[in-house]
């Protein structure tokens, strides 16, 4: 939730109010949490939620590419900016936008989630939410050791760790 709040706050600070979400209907914990957090934080930040600003894609590069290309070919409109539920989906989304001569970030700004290594290579560099990988590993190891010792107290559990937004060049700067 904190990560999505950071994304939406950043978009709002850059003057965006027409914010979209590239989402997957695949039922994973992360995707579900991202969908819930998007809606909750759009309301929290007093930003309008428009159903037509959510682009539903399969959770793969090809799935995102095909769904976005079909949306654009059908004359579908785009929001000013998009939060992509993960970086792989963001790359497919970007490919389709480029093939339709939509310039990033001049026409559409994008923020991804995951900190894939490709985020540094893609042009323009993708602005991303970075997860604390070391903390995730340490927390997982500690939980595993606790379970191996037979301690089942507090299971199952959700642990929310702090994320950070790393600026690339995929978000148009205000001013």
Residues 6 or more apart from 19 whose CB is under 8 A from it? Answer: 8, 11, 12, 42, 47, 53, 79, 80, 81, 82, 83
Partners of 55 in beta bridges? 22
Phi then psi for residue 109, to 5 deg, are -100, 150
Find, among 58, 28, 47, 40, the residue nearest to 4 by Cα. Answer: 40
Q: What is the pTM of this model?
A: 0.83
Rounded CA gap, 145 and 129, in Å? 29
Indicate the pLDDT class of residue 138, thresholds 50, 70 and 90: confident
Does the pLDDT at position 60 exceed 90?
yes
* Residue 14 pLDDT greater than 90, yes or no: yes
Q: Are 20 and 55 in contact (CB under 8 A)?
A: yes
The residue-averaged pLDDT of 70-87 equals 95
Half-sphere exposure of 115 (CA within 13 A, CB side): 12
What pLDDT is recorded for position 135?
Answer: 61
pLDDT tops 90 at residue 75: yes
pLDDT for 128 equals 87
Per-residue pLDDT at 146: 78
Residue 41 is predicted with a pLDDT of 94
* Residue 119 in this model has a pLDDT that exceeds 80: no
Please indicate whether residue 155 or residue 45 has the higher confidence score (pLDDT): 45
């Amino acid at each position: 939730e904190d990560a999505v709040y950071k994304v939406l706050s950043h978009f709002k600070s850059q003057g965006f109010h027409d914010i979209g979400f590239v989402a997957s209907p695949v039922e994973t914990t992360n995707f579900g949490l991202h969908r819930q957090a998007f809606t909750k934080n759009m309301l929290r930040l007093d930003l309008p939620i428009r159903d037509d600003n959510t682009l539903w894609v399969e959770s793969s590069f090809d799935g995102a590419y095909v769904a976005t290309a079909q949306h654009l070919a059908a004359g579908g409109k785009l929001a000013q900016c998009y939060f992509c539920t993960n970086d792989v989906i963001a790359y497919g989304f970007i490919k389709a936008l480029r093939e339709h001569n939509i310039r990033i970030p001049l026409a559409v700004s994008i923020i991804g989630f995951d900190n894939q290594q490709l985020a540094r290579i893609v042009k323009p560099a993708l602005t991303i939410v970075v997860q604390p990988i070391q903390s995730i590993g340490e927390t997982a190891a500690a939980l595993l050791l606790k379970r191996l010792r037979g301690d089942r107290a507090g299971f199952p559990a959700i642990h929310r760790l702090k994320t950070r937004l790393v600026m690339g060049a995929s978000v148009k700067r205000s001013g």
